[in-house]
Amino acid sequence: KNQVEQSPQSLIILEGKNCTLQCNYTVSPFSNLRWYKQDTGRGPVSLTIMTFSENTKSNGRYTATLDADTKQSSLHITASQLSDSASYICVVSAERGGGNKLTFGTGTQLKVEL
Amino acid sequence: NAGVTQTPKFQVLKTGQSMTLQCAQDMNHNSMYWYRQDPGMGLRLIYYSASEGTTDKGEVPNGYNVSRLNKREFSLRLESAAPSQTSVYFCASSTGRSSNQPQHFGDGTRLSIL
């Protein structure tokens, strides 16, 4: 069964600090891995998409890494800001006939405090 | 640029009532999706439309129907609402199901069934 597990479930950090969120998956055949940010009361917004051949991808202060051999990904947030408070969702896409099938993690709830 | 627009934003129904959730996108995307998000669970796909004129079941289609009205609009209908359908419903769109492009999400419809 395809699964995506994220850790930690929740995290509180001080503004300006860095943090790293983890994602482990058992999805095959692998197509790509996505990180989304979901603010409270809003829909998810795409941060990065990485294919099998990409092991690092950045979007501003967000840097995602992918190790396809160990089936692990991380999202590193640098110099956190209050606006980074949100749920971060890891999504893995599997190749299927006619299109990709997405498996969503349950998210890491990040709170950035003063 | 509105992106993906969902209506209504909130709705309370009684068991057995019916209603239609509306979704429209202005990005000229071919594929559209309906998801539900429940506490402690990742987003789950209800139905999708790979292209105008086609619809297919996702992971949790029971109790729902969809209509791809045209390229822009994709509606979700609950014929006889049940308390188990209390959830937040998200519509999303993408250029295509097989692409490595992200899905763009609306801000959701929060539905309570009493």
Return the C-alpha torsion angle B29, B5, A101, B84, nearest 10: -150
In contact, B47 and B62? CB cutoff 8 Å? no
In contact, B81 and B113? CB cutoff 8 Å? yes
pLDDT of residue A77: 98
Contacts of B7 in chain A (CB under 8 A): none
pLDDT of residue A100: 77
Place of tokens 């069964």: A1
Q: Is A104 in contact with B42 (Cβ distance < 8 A)?
A: yes
Residues in chain B: 114
Q: Is the pLDDT reported for residue A96 higher than 80?
A: no
Q: Is the pLDDT reported for residue A23 higher than 90?
A: yes
pLDDT of residue A1: 78
Q: Is the pLDDT reported for residue A98 higher than 70?
A: no
Query: For residue A81, which of A16, A18, A35 has the smallest C-alpha distance?
Result: A16
pLDDT of residue A101: 86
- Mean pLDDT for A20-45 is 95
Q: Is the pLDDT reported for residue A111 higher than 90?
A: yes
Left (φ > 0), alpha (ψ -120 to 50) or beta: where does A41 sit? left
pLDDT of residue A46: 96
pLDDT of residue B13: 96
pLDDT tens digits for range B61-103: 999 999 998 999 999 999 999 999 999 999 999 998 776 789 9
Q: Which one of A2, A87, A106, A109 makes the best mutation probe of the B interface by having the most chain B beta carbons within 10 Å?
A: A106
Residue B114's Cβ-side half-sphere holds a number of Cα atoms within 13 Å equal to: 4
Contacts of A43 in chain B (CB under 8 A): 4, 90, 92, 105-108
pLDDT of residue A2: 80
Question: CA nearest A46 in B: which residue?
Answer: B102
Spatial separation of the C-alpha atoms in residues A33 and A66, rounded to whole Å: 8
State whether the Cα torsion B86-A27-B91-A34 is positive or negative.
positive
pLDDT of residue A79: 98
Q: Is B50 in contact with A99 (Cβ distance < 8 A)?
A: yes
pLDDT of residue B1: 63
Contacts of B45 in chain A (CB under 8 A): 102
Min distance A91 CA to chain B CA atoms (Å): 9
pLDDT tens digits for range A51-92: 988 999 999 999 999 999 999 999 999 999 999 999 999 999
Q: Is the pLDDT reported for residue A50 higher than 90?
A: yes
The alpha carbon of B109 is separated from its chain's Cα centroid by a whole number of angstroms, namely: 9
pLDDT of residue B2: 79
B41, B90, B108 member nearest A106 (Cβ)? B41
